[in-house]
Amino acid sequence: MDFATVSGKIATGRIGYTLSQLVPATPIWEREWDVCCVLDGCRLDLMREVASAGHPALPDADGVDSLWSVGSQSAEWMDRTFAPQYREEMARTAYVTGNPFSSQPCEHILVTSDEVLPLEADDFGVFHEAWREEWVDDDISTIPPDPLTDAAIAIWRNRAELGVDRVLVHYMQPHAPFRSQPGWFFGSADIEHWGQFTDGDDEEEIDLADLEPEEREALEALAEAEAEEDDDTDSMNDPWIKLRNGELSYDAVWAAYRDNLEWVLDDVARLLANCDGRVAMTSDHGNAIGEFGVWSHPPGTPVPALRRVPWAVREGQDRGTFDPALPDGLRDDDPDSADEPAVESRLEALGYR
């Protein structure tokens, strides 16, 4: 076993998780913002590269600061960002999300608390899971940035009526799938990411809630052991694993990744032109490309490429160039109303199944 493989197993195993807890992370609540745009899976160096190229949504590269994220994967980030100690901040915040993890219990992700996810409407001043209605299955299966921007603009303009004074927008880009390379993304992937434990070839799902504590502990230990042996981040829809395996070139993956960031930043520019206030841009996690033997974005991992994320701030000015309506039923979103097969297919498209 080579050094990179050993290093990767350490970084993503129990030792890595222990070290990950020592990272001096900064919750977004500790920074000043009126609208905060979370660009899912954005590396710091990628954002600085696009800033250097002069993208209008960004300051220059020197203006792209950084912070240490509270997680190295979306569910872990949500679990720690929306923890009980932040209830007061959350109560005056509108959360607009394109990330289907908001509906997942995530007991199988051993670094989460089991206390936060799935999120509920009562957790926030306004809670809008845009992915439920705005997901598209065209060339690629994802939620594009524009419905999130529309919702954020409308909520911000109606914030007094809605009883909030901040909007948190969780875009799915630059996270894969990449709009410029639809042929890379197809089929199903591994199921350990989502804890759908099975009992063999018939793939009968086991409900963790029906298990005795010792049975669940044994099952989780089995899953962890299988992950150690088989690499549970391996996914047909994960370009970072394909890059590791030599199926894709670095230049091709980086170009597609950058294009996805430019896609979402074009929409952030639209938000900046339609919201007065302090608009922050950050990420929940990055993506590792072999640093310390790690690839993609496994949870509980202290690698800087995953945990040190961008922090850029611009002042928005509402020029009224768009006039979107408030999403229907903002206060009536029912987390139990989602079609579960549809939820799972959307998570699969993002490379988590």
> What residue segments make up the domains of the chain, in order of their start?
3-349
Cα-based angle 296, 23, 279 (whole degrees, multiple of 5) = 75
What is the per-residue pLDDT for 287? 97
Please name which of 294, 222, 241 lies closest in space to residue 15, comparing C-alpha atoms. Answer: 294
Residues 6+ apart with CB under 8 A from 351: 176, 177, 185, 189, 235, 236, 237, 238, 239, 296
Q: Per the structure block, which two tokens stand in for 284?
A: 């929940």
Query: Do 257 and 174 form a contact (C-beta atoms < 8 A)?
Result: yes
Question: Which residues, listed in sequence order, are joined to residue 315 by a DSSP beta bridge?
Answer: 278
135: three-class secondary structure by DSSP: coil
Residues (pLDDT < 70) of the chain are 1-20, 22, 187-236, 331-353
- Burial (0-12, 13-18, 19+ Cβ within 10 Å), 199: exposed
Q: What is the DSSP letter of 39?
A: E
Distance of alpha carbon 14 from alpha carbon 141, whole angstroms: 33
Cα of 227 vs its chain's centroid, Å: 21
**Closest by CA position to 115, among listed 69, 82, 71, 73:** 82
Q: Which of 261, 36, 268 is nearest to 150 (CA)?
A: 268
pLDDT tens track for 5-60 = 555 665 565 565 556 676 789 999 999 999 999 999 999 999 999 999 999 999 99
Which whole-number Å values give the CA distances from 111 to 18, 80, 107, 156, in the listed order?
10, 10, 9, 33
On whether the CB atoms of residues 112 and 75 are closer than 8 A, the answer is yes
Q: Which of 31, 47, 107, 41 is nearest to 77 (CA)?
A: 41
Strand partners, 281: 37, 312
Paired tokens of 163: 């009883």
Are the C-beta atoms of 92 and 163 separated by less than 8 Å? Answer: yes
Backbone angles phi, psi at 310, to 5 degrees: -70, 155
Judge whether 125 and 92 are in contact, CB under 8 Å.
yes
For residue 174, what are the contacts with CB-CB under 8 A and spacing of at least 6? Answer: 39, 40, 41, 42, 46, 257, 258, 260, 261, 263, 264
Say how far residue 224 (Cα) sits from the centre of its chain.
22
Instruction: Tell me the pTM.
Output: 0.81
Strand-pairing partners, residue 142, are 136
Contact 172, 96 (CB under 8 A): no
Strands 308-316 and 277-282: antiparallel
Which CATH number is 3-349's, of 3.90.320, 3.40.50, 1.10.260, 3.40.720?
3.40.720
